[in-house]
Amino acid sequence: MKEIVIFSLVNEFYGVDIKKVKGIIVYSQLLITPLFHEKEWIVGIANIRGEVIPIIDLRKRFGNIAKYSDETVVIIIKTDADKWMGIVVDFILRIDLVDIENIKQPNLLKGIEKKYLEGFIKTPEDEMVTLLNIDLLLNIGEI
């Protein structure tokens, strides 16, 4: 069993291992400084507990339109490369325990390249959740 944070990105549910998550912050409360010459999905950089970290809008990353509402949150991720990064998501569904034995290999492509997906999983509540390979997704070469 694995505890994952389930969030929504453009009407689909995704999950990341809670061990990677260092915090969740409401988007509207963050002061984000834009960086001008960066890719459009790099919203900018923000100060999270004294760390200067980049904020990445995954919705823009995969070519969707990003809407910002009061529910929009930033999940702070600590990657394998020991970098702190924030990802913007539509909302947090909940934190759930899932059975990792039941990961199904990805077969569908929903705008996100297959290599960034670890597989699909069904929650006890019967939702389909896509597990993200967040370390690859947030690799400096990839963003």
**CB under 8 A: which stretch of 10-18, 42-50, 87-95, 100-108 binds other proteins?**
42-50
Q: Is 127 in the site for other proteins (CB under 8 A)?
A: no
The DSSP-derived string for the chain is -EEEEEEEETTEEEEEEGGGEEEEEEGGG--EE--SSS-TTEEEEEEETTEEEEEEEHHHHTTPPP---TT-EEEEEE-TTS-EEEEEESEEEEEEEE-GGGPBPP---SSS-GGGEEEEEE-TT--EEEEE-HHHHT-TTT-
Q: Is 51 in the site for other proteins (CB under 8 A)?
A: yes
Of the residues 1, 11, 31, 65, which one makes contact with other proteins according to CB under 8 A: 31
Q: Is 83 in the site for other proteins (CB under 8 A)?
A: yes
Q: Is 75 in the site for other proteins (CB under 8 A)?
A: no
Of the residues 4, 5, 6, 53, which one makes contact with other proteins according to CB under 8 A: 53
Give residue for tokens 């963050």: 30
Q: Is 25 in the site for other proteins (CB under 8 A)?
A: no
Closer by beta carbon to other proteins, 31 or else 109: 31
Least spacing, CB of residue 78 vs other proteins, in Å: 9
Closer by beta carbon to other proteins, 46 or else 121: 46
Binding site for other proteins (CB under 8 A): 31-38, 44-47, 50-54, 83-85, 140
